[in-house]
Amino acid sequence: MTAEALTPALASGRKITFAMRAAHFARGNVLFVVGGCLFLLIVLGAIFAPLIAPYDPTAINFLDKLQGPGFRHLMGTNELGQDIFSQVLFGARTSLMVGVVVISLAIGIGVPIGLVAGFFGGWIDTVLMRISDVFLAFPPLLLPIAITAALGTGLFNAMVALSISWFPWYSRIVRGAVMRINSELYMSAARAMGVSAPRIMMRHALPNSMTPIIVQGSMDFGYSILAAASLSFIGIGAQPPTPEWGLMAAMSRTHFIDSWWTVTFPGMAIFVTVLAMNLVGDGVRDILDPKHQSSH
Amino acid sequence: MTALLSVAHLTKHFPTRHGLVRAVEDVSFDVARGETLAVVGESGCGKTTVALSLLRLLRPDGGQVSFEGVDLEGGGDKAEKAWRQRLSIVFQNPYSSLDPRMRIRSIVGEPLITAYGLRGRELTQRVVRHLGEVGLGAEHLYRFPHEFSGGQRQRIAIARALALEPKLLILDEPTAALDVSVQAQVLNLLQGLQKSMGLSYLFISHNLATVENIADRVLVMYLGRVVEEGPVSKIFTAPCHPYTRGLLDSVPSTDLRRRERFKPVRGEIPSALNPPPGCAFSPRCARAGEECRAAPPPLVPAGADRSHACLHPLSPTG
Amino acid sequence: MSDVLLDISGLHIEFPSLERTVQAVRGCDLSVFKGEVMGLVGESGSGKSMTALACLGLVPPPGRVTGSVRLDGHEVVGAPESHNRPLRGGVAAMIFQNPGKALNPFFTIGRQLTDAIAGVRRISREAAGKIAVDALSEVRIADPTQAMHKYPHQVSGGQLQRAMIAMALSCEPKLVIADEPTTALDVTIQAQVIVLLRDLARVHGLAVLFITHDLGVVGSLCDRLAVMYAGRVVESGPVDALFASPAHPYTASLLRAVPALGRGRAALTQIPGTVPNMAEPPTGCAFHPRCPQAQPRCAIDDPMGRETTDGRTVACHFPLAATANGGIAAGSPAA
């Protein structure tokens, strides 16, 4: 009788289709799917901005200034009569670029430092990590503000400043991962075979420490957009006429009381993007975390 | 005839926060061509430290190591490179010793890339040859370690160790992490390889039954020192050192006639941070006297081919 | 016999997921009598540990348990947690492979023992503390009063395992389930723990279900033995009879494949292949792809366990004859 009870599960032999796999995955990772869809929407908006946008985002039209949201202007216009919907769309391009550049630069600086520190340990580790710690000792945003002030205002400098203040997180993550990997026998095996240190780092240590980097990178993507928008908001990031969400909010802040849409829609864009990336980051962590893998 | 590997007075100490750990103290042994020498002992006895020192993964604090009569120290990078081609290691745990993100071709090929810069078809051919030596087919080349069972992974690790055609393999408990039903496969494979290639093995283990099956000679270690050394057939039938006796009597057996003999040694293995004075085994030894606690007893010969470090040895019948 | 303490019959445990359902246990039958030391031998994936967890209703989700486990007359499978909890500790206690993980590093051994005893037996902490000291001295810890004040990291693995045994015994269970309790220990310490368990079982009339992958340990400790393969008991019986003339080809092969002290350099008979993947167990007899005696029937027809002489069971269509150690006697020294 008990043997019978088992057979349906065993003998059904149903074929697992891609759709079933996808549905199973979506059921287990609802938030990731929601975040991913939102992010996809933003990316599509950014790519097809010239096709979707009803107006030139920089075109000034004083006749239409401070129009409320409606059929002519989906999200209204600002005090220069620029179409906010078009600006938000083009702003997505700026923001996504900021996210990609800041995180890539931070990973590009932080990962090699963490890799070397974690692999060699000892005084090399101490020196490198103390240098990294210096960058973590400042209150958040104060350091980027100071660096941007020194380099000069502008979106590019703001991105560089953000990367410089962000890389130590990646150094720390990679260092921790590499120190853990150091005790794996395949590292000892490679050393015993006389494999050179750079090769061991590149072929063994780096690939096996990528998981936490990917997770952290996708989480930070949203935050870096938020931070860049903050710099633009206080006037040291993107400069007009660049369509940038933080800058848009800053330019219109005097009209917030009487024309709420001028600030609300750029702010919403930032909020949705950061939220989407957080959900994606959480999801990526859950998927890549070996403890979370149900089937093995 | 000179020994293939000769180790003399090997010493390795680890300074720790709580004091000096004498992990290996004055250990000497030879491994002849085609011979299997087993190093047995429990945790903290120093057997793994010996292996790591031979692999140059640890720098010993003293002693000489020579291969085919050539001293390792002072040879420079070139000598070290040649050294690494002559001996390699198979680790205990094949789940950790193969990089999970590499394919089998890269894993087995890594020593060949490092030593000879092989690539492309040449590399593939060599890897296929070594996989064949351990009984694996070329269809496995582009698979990842997680697609294999434990026994197969250990075969892959052995293939990698054979890639540079070494003369000596260090086997660090190569079957301890495997399912019992596949251990024999790996042991038989190792014995076959030894016969066909004339390999020497340094077999590190705590499993005396496995040692009896595979080794010619055995080195028994306790807390960093050699306590007894000699041919397996003699040591296992008539040990001189009470620790060896205790170790043998502690092995659980499927032979029910041995159940009467099953008699554990009393006491615990002392901390390496705070070893007892004199013979480290004396606190657990029924035969120990005052003189045993005075100084560590020296290794003395007992017959032509064996020696022990005990002041009150059990009389060998041989 | 009426004095069956643990009776497992038709136990199935499966872990479902979308693509495949892992059948950890597939129809396990096993009984442990009062006061006997029973060995449960199996390799990784044989389902031995899951069977042990099922005895106390501890199979983790999403595991589905069906069949029957009767522990001292109580049905465990399908019973509510409130029914099973009193059985743990009081009727059956469990010892695990890694004692370091079973104890909290922030509290002394004495405190954890006292808490456990006071909790299960519902007595005052002072009384529980006295019992704890007695329990520690019973497991031959050198200085029990001092050991009470030590933290887990301050004592060796062997001492910790003794403390765990003391904790298990202190609630006076009828059955101790020990899951590879000596695997992580050194050889000489393992021997001490085996002798300790043997003596404790004798003195207290305690039944022990000892789970291990090591046939040697069974040989030194157990009265009876059950061999598990692919989620099912393939053979069981008294240790001496089973070792002298194994009836199931798996048991016979295993005995000849594992090096045993005293057999010299005799070649090992290797078992081909590898332990089966329990998501796709072989059809028919799960051992047939590796079995030297396999016939066509073995691939189709799943053999059920059946009773043979003197309390032995075997699940094989073509059991090895139990006559005069006919060529399959294992564990005996070469000449």
**pLDDT level of residue B316 (50, 70, 90 thresholds):** low
Q: What's the mean pLDDT in B224-229?
A: 94
Q: How far is B200 from chain A (nearest CA, A)?
A: 18
pLDDT exceeding 90 applies to what percent of chain C?
A: 37
A34–chain C nearest CA distance, Å? 22
Mean residue pLDDT of chain A comes to 83
pLDDT digits (tens, 9 = 90+) for A138-177: 887 888 888 888 888 888 888 888 898 889 999 999 999 9
* Residues of B with Cβ-Cβ distance to C219 under 8 angstroms: 252-256, 258-259
Instruction: Reduce the secondary structure of chain B to three states and give it as a string.
Output: CCCCEEEEEEEEEEEECCEEEEEEEEEEEEECCCCEEEEECCCCCCHHHHHHHHCCCCCCCEEEEEECCEECCCCHHHHHHHHHHHEEEECCCCCCCCCCCCCHHHHHHHHHHHHHCCCHHHHHHHHHHHHHHCCCCHHHCCCCHHHCCHHHHHHHHHHHHHCCCCCEEEEECCCCCCCHHHHHHHHHHHHHHHHHHCCEEEEEECCHHHHHHHCCEEEEEECCEEEEEEEHHHHHHCCCCHHHHHHHHCCCCCCHHHHCCCCCCCCCCCCCCCCCCCCCCHHHCCCCCHHHHCCCCCCEECCCCCEECCCCCCCCCC
Task: Write out pLDDT tens, residues A106-138.
Answer: 999 999 999 999 999 899 999 999 998 888 888
Let me know how long chain A is: 296
Burial class from Cβ neighbours inside 10 Å (0-12, 13-18, 19+) for residue C73 reads: exposed
Whole-number pLDDT of residue C18: 67
Q: How far apart are CA C244 and CA B172, in angstroms?
A: 33
Rg of the Cα trace of chain A? 24
Q: Looking at the partner chain, which of A184, A195, A204 has a beta carbon nearest the beta carbon of B114?
A: A195
Kind and range of the H or E run holding A42:
helix A30-47
State the average pLDDT over residues B268-297. 89
Asked if pLDDT for residue A242 goes beyond 80, the answer is yes
Task: Please report the pLDDT score of residue B35 as a whole number.
Answer: 94
The pLDDT of residue A293 is above 80? no
Q: How far apart are CA A83 and CA A58, in angstroms?
A: 8
ipTM of the complex: 0.88
Of C191, C267, C332, the CB nearest to B255: C332
CB atoms within 10 A of CB A20: 13
pLDDT above 50 for C335: no
Over residues C40-81, the pLDDT tens digits come to: 999 888 999 999 999 999 898 888 999 999 999 899 998 888
Q: What phi and psi, each to the nearest 5 degrees, are found at residue B302? A: -135, 90
Model confidence pLDDT, tens digit, residues C80-117: 888 888 888 889 999 988 877 788 889 999 999 898 88
pLDDT tens-digit readout, A249-288:
888 878 888 888 888 888 899 899 999 988 888 888 877 7
Say if the Cβ atoms of C66 and A2 lie within 8 Å: yes
pLDDT band at C155 (very low <50, low <70, confident <90, very high): confident
Beta carbons of B253 and C262 less than 8 Å apart: yes
Judged against a pLDDT cut of 90, whether residue A296 lies above it is answered with: no
Task: Provide, as residue numbers in chain C, all residues whose Cβ is less than 8 Å from the Cβ of B208.
Answer: 187, 261
**B275-301 mean pLDDT:** 91
Q: What is the pLDDT of residue C54?
A: 92
Asked if A194's CB is within 8 angstroms of B111's CB, the reply is: yes
Cα distance between residue A39 and residue A43, in whole Å? 6
Task: Say yes or no for a CB contact (<8 Å) between A10 and C27.
Answer: no
CB-CB neighbors (< 8 A) of B99 in chain A = 186, 190, 203-204, 207-208
- Binding-face residues of C in 241-260 toward B, CB within 8 A: 243, 253-255, 257-260
Q: Render C201-250 in DSSP notation, one character per residue.
A: HHHHT-EEEEEES-HHHHHHH-SEEEEEETTEEEEEEEHHHHHHS--SHH
Q: Is the dihedral of CA A42, A43, A45, A50 positive or negative?
A: positive
Asked if the C-beta of A294 comes within 8 angstroms of chain C's C-beta atoms, the answer is yes
Q: pLDDT digits over A201-236, tens only? A: 999 999 999 888 988 898 888 888 888 888 888 888
Q: CB-side exposure of A281: number of CA atoms within 13 Å?
A: 17
Strand, helix or coil for residue C313: strand
User: Sheet holding C232-238: strands in order across?
Assistant: C92-95, C175-179, C207-212, C37-41, C224-229, C232-238, C313-314, C306-307
Mean of pLDDT over chain C = 87
Best mutation target among B48, B80, B93, B99 (most A Cβ atoms within 10 Å) is: B99
Task: Output the pLDDT for position A15.
Answer: 62
Record: contact A195-B91, CB cut-off 8 A: no
Work out the percent of chain A whose per-residue pLDDT is above 90.
26
Percentage of chain A with pLDDT > 70?
92
Tell me the C-alpha distance between A122 and A285, whole Å. 30
First to last CA, chain C: 39
Helix (H, G, I), strand (E, B) or coil at A88: helix
Which amino acid is present at A112? P
Query: Would you call B251 and C253 a contact, using CB atoms and an 8 Å cutoff?
Result: no
Answer yes or no: do C44 and B179 touch at CB < 8 A.
yes
Q: Is C264 exposed, middle or buried (0-12, 13-18, 19+ CB in 10 A)?
A: middle
Q: Which two tokens stand for residue C161?
A: 């395992």
Q: Between chains, do B89 and A207 touch, taking CB under 8 Å as contact?
A: no
Spatial distance between the Cα atoms of A2 and C28, rounded to a whole number of angstroms: 11
> For residue C236, which of C174, C308, C292 has the smallest C-alpha distance?
C308
Predicted confidence at residue B27, as pLDDT, reads: 93
**Could you give the 3-state DSSP secondary structure of residue C27?**
strand
What does DSSP assign to residue C13?
E
Amino acid at B210: T
Name which of A266-280, B168-182, B253-267, C144-158 the model is least confident about: B253-267
Mean pLDDT within B282-294: 90
| Mean pLDDT of the region C295-318 | 87
Higher model confidence: residue A94 or residue C19? Answer: A94
